[in-house]
Structure 1
Amino acid sequence: MQQFIDAAPGIRLWTEQRGAADAAPLLLIMGAQASGVGWPDPLVDALAAHHRVIRYDHRDTGRSTWSFEERPYRIADLAEDVIAVLDGLGIDRAHIVGMSLGGMLAQMLLADHPDRLLSATLISTMALSTTPYTRPDGSTVPTDALPGIAPEVLELWARPVEDHGPAAEVERRIEHWRVLAGDQLPFDEGYFRAFEQQVIAHTGHHRAGTAHGRADSDGMLRTDQLAKNEVPALVVSAPAEPVFPPPHPQHLAQCVRGAELVEIPGMGHALPPAVHAPLATAILARTGAVTT
């Protein structure tokens, strides 16, 4: 079932629900410039066998309002959009799963709206905390000394995004996924081509958005609140991650009080078919352990 939610004056967000209406809600939060269909259908269906699964388009993605040029917003506003989606769908509390920027938004929700969450799963993201990382040997590493984004990713992101038509845009996105997916699993070019064609069909155009990279990111740190967290939380470690490489997930699990850590073998900063089943299993193990 598809539905539009009014999140703020002039802002409408596209949402889709799958699964039994009376099942525990599970809301999926995608990363920067990624629409809700960035969550692959097979993964969504696996989760929907146990949950009322909601995925939605951020502002300036998919079928939601593209408004940044006329009305710039903050990253914090994207976090509040999650609450607007829950309110619009009449959901008091939900499990949330966030990837990349979505994992940061999920941390902000853990800190600011813990009463609205049943659990949180954080994937391919970094800690919104200044707490140093403690290595297994007991030594510590300041957050600004943790590994940075891989050079090949930075080089790709530094290139200007030019419109050479839909076919060229699909090829650009495939190259992007090839780098983001890491080097531990075979890269399925055909899968990602079909995936991006689906994203473009859903959006209705092939233009690449840049709003989230330009949005005000001030005030995102939640060091103290995360250290006092009481919401059941899971951190997913992706060993081939080129954006937030290990030990970022280990650090995140230390910063979020009570968080568990699970590794998905071969996973990078992407969701190819090989990770769908193990990722669904990990998420469902976390949500299934929560009593409502």
Structure 2
Amino acid sequence: MSDQINLRAYGKINLGLDVVGKRPDGYHEVKMVMQTVGLYDSLKLERKKEPGIHVATNLYFLPTGEDNLVYRAADMLMKEFGVKEGLSIGLHKRIPVAAGMGGGSSDAAAVLVGVNKMFRLGLSRKALMERGVNLGADVPYCVMRGTALAEGIGEKLRRLPPMPDCFILLAKPPVSVSTRFVYGNLKVDSLPFHPDLDGMIKALEKNNLDGVTACMGNVLEMVTIPAYPQVQKLKDIMMDAGARMALMSGSGPTVFGIFDKKEAADRICRMLRREGLAKQAYTVKPYNSKE
């Protein structure tokens, strides 16, 4: 058994996000095309002889106890399998927090993978995904990674052909958006449009980036953008700079733009940071490794 494991928890964007209904339990039925990107949080897991789970992060405002998904992920597996030893988790965040990029879910997914490996629990990737949904709807996808269609509340997954090569500019404006606020104010029965996600899947099958970007859309923008016009401003800046398409990820406020050339994305990235339009901005690529 390993005494120490280092892990990367990669962020995600939604190339397309549609809401197709609302369930009696209050959850929304979604249809999304998810894509892992090359921005990641770093986790260091260390086995301890003393029982208990200890979490430390580089962000002072993050909880480190049972309110942290990383803690809950480790606790869930260790209790299920009767692990008597303790665990220390060091979490270094780079993925913007509460920004529509699934950072917390990805951190939890990485811990599930790490605890399974560290204590030789013998769980398959599918078994980890099945347990992950108890922590959050995005966690199974974050275990799976890559390009995928997500349906249901986000837990029904189908792997898709990888996104064609490109450069992705990520930018989070200096605002925080409540996912509950966005979904709570979405009028599911009167959405004026639905993104063509079936068309996007066909474009992915043909490795056609033009086809993918032509089908991009996120119905949650209809709630987030009127409340936070900074999101639209970032989209406009990216489109004016030559992005093939720019879109909000998840419920926001992170915006991403698809670029052909790294230089163009980097130039806008620097400008957004310099002028304070984005607290965090990065140029990355799609990440499609299964490991």
More helix by share: 1
- With the shorter chain as reference, the TM-score category is under 0.3
More strand by share: 2
TM value normalised by structure 1: 0.25
Select the structure of larger CA radius of gyration: 2
